[in-house]
Amino acid sequence: MQKKINEVVILGTGGTIAGQASAAGDNVGYMAGQITAADLLREVPALAGQALSVEQVAQCDSKDMDHAIWQTLAQRVAHHVARPEVSGIVITHGTDTLEETAWFLQRVLAPIKPVVLTAAMRPATALHRDGPQNLLDAVAVARSSEPQLAGVLAVVAGTIHSAQAVSKRHPYRVDAFSSGDTGVLGWVEEGAVRLARPGLLADETAPLGLAFIERPVADWPWVAVVTSHAGADASSVRALVGAGVRGIVVAGSGNGTVHRQLQTALHEAQIAGVRVWRCSRCGEGAVVGQPAGALASAGALSPVKARIALMLALMAQN
Ligand code: SIN
């Protein structure tokens, strides 16, 4: 059989893009992850006849995304990226943890082809649904041979984001994603990609590789996120340490500052052998500087992406 050239592989994982409500006007009271990626594809006539293949990797609400799905997803992405006839991958995903899956895949695989996560804020049953256009745009980006678009990306509401910069910033609006200070990589307009900064290369961080995440997910180091806030106390950190946490990311106020009660508990945790990183809960920008005695900074990473980075750093140790 002749191999398909310029094939795009669509990997389904669920989310609102695959969600269904009992009433067409209901954009909130629906169940995520109800229809398959193959069903979604049938909703986009413009994709009919294109070189596409579909695989259902999971079917979940992405608030419930877990390490076992990440492990399988990374293996399927690596498998398809290695196939010469494949130009790129599209992953249909829920919006809630899309940025975490994107960052995990980028750190593990740093793929040499576009691996495009896409999603929707409205279910497949909505009067005015965003999923079909997002899927169409994601396939256009997955077909791109533009070097800047090699790697893990997110395509939503006509915008293209890098895995490192993207985050969900609005709980309801259709254009819910932002790349903050960094800005988008580009836009998709009627199937054509327009780059925001022609000439720049995407994230060049070396991949960790699939062998790195081969161990059973039950053995992946437990890393938790705690938030510093007015009135914070030491109890949550002490409970985590007592329960055997291996790493803690503290989402600090402002420039990564930490309430003194929490700070004391986090220093105790470090003495007990727990790795502690701090980042900012502000949502944009990076923690600037490393004052003497301060907890280690996670730089520009958001708390949830710092959690992934710390988990992978701990995995590298043993
Ligand atoms: C989910 O993240 O799976 C549900 C929410 C969404 O996709 O918008």
Name residues whose C-beta falls within 8 Å of residue 197's C-beta, 6 or more positions apart in sequence.
148, 183, 185
What does the alpha-carbon distance between residue 53 and residue 175 come to, in Å, rounded to a whole number?
Answer: 27
Q: What is the pTM of this model?
A: 0.89
Looking at the CA of residue 121, tell me the nearest atom of ligand 1: 8
* Cβ–ligand 1 contact at 12 (below 6 Å): no
Cα–ligand 1 centroid distance for 120 (angstroms)? 7
Looking at the CA of residue 176, tell me the nearest atom of ligand 1: 8
* 3-state secondary structure (DSSP) of residue 260: helix
Cα–ligand 1 centroid distance for 109 (angstroms)? 24
Q: How many CB atoms lie within 10 A of CB 125?
A: 19
Annotated catalytic residues are 16
Note whether 278 and 291 are within 8 A (CB).
no
Going residue by residue through the chain, which has 318 residues, state the pLDDT in tens, using 9 for 90 and above: 445 579 999 999 999 999 999 999 899 999 999 999 999 999 999 999 999 999 999 999 999 999 999 999 999 999 999 999 999 999 999 999 999 999 999 999 999 999 999 999 999 999 999 999 999 999 999 999 999 999 999 999 999 999 999 999 999 999 999 999 999 999 999 999 999 987 666 565 789 999 999 999 999 999 999 999 999 999 999 999 999 999 999 999 999 999 999 999 999 999 999 999 999 999 888 898 998 889 999 998 999 999 999 999 999 987
**CB-hemisphere CA count at 13 Å for 145?**
5
